[in-house]
Amino acid sequence: MIPAGRLVSARRSTEALHRDTFTVYRATGEVVKDPILLTETPVYAVVAKRVQGKFKASGADNRDVQTPGMKVAETGLEWHTSLDVRGILTDDEVECVAVDPDTGDPDNVGRRVRVTGPFIKSIATARRFRVSELT
C-alpha cells in the first residue's frame, strides 16, 4: 500500500508531464447534409476544452487479428490526462490543439484520435485511455 502523501506527490509529478493541450468532442447523433455534395457530416459537441495531457505509445501488444502460425506485436497509442478530468467516454474524440514549445512534437497539433476504452493501471496517478488514430 502506498502512503497517501506519496500518492499525491506521484500524481503531481505525473501531471507535470502533461504539457500538451487537448479538446475532447462527442458526437451528438445529429448530422448536417451538405446541399452541394450531398454528404452527411456528424455534429460534435465539445465535452472539455483546454485539457492538459499527452500522447504516449504503449508497449507491444499482440495484434487482435493474427496471421496463422505467427504472433505479431504492435504498439498502441494512449492518451494520458489528469485525474481531475471526468466524463470522457468510449468513442469520444480527442484533438491536440497545442503542444509545449520546449518538449512537444509540433506534428501532434491537429492530430485527432478516438477513445477506444480506459487503460487501467494499479496505481492511479493519471487517467489513461487507449485511443486509435482517425484517418
Domains in the chain with CATH codes: 4-133 (2.40.10)
For residue 116, CA distances in Å to 11, 79, 83 come to 24, 11, 18
| Average pLDDT value for the chain | 84
Closest CA relative to residue 24, chosen from 124, 116, 92 = 92
Q: pLDDT band at residue 25, thresholds of 50, 70 and 90? A: very high
pLDDT at 62 over 70: no
pLDDT digits (tens, 9 = 90+) for 73-104: 677 888 988 888 888 999 999 999 999 888 87
Closest CA relative to residue 78, chosen from 8, 123, 127, 12 = 127
pLDDT at 24 over 80: yes
Q: pLDDT band at residue 109, thresholds of 50, 70 and 90? A: very high
Q: pLDDT band at residue 2, thresholds of 50, 70 and 90? A: low
pLDDT at 66 over 70: no
CB 14 within 8 A of CB 126: yes
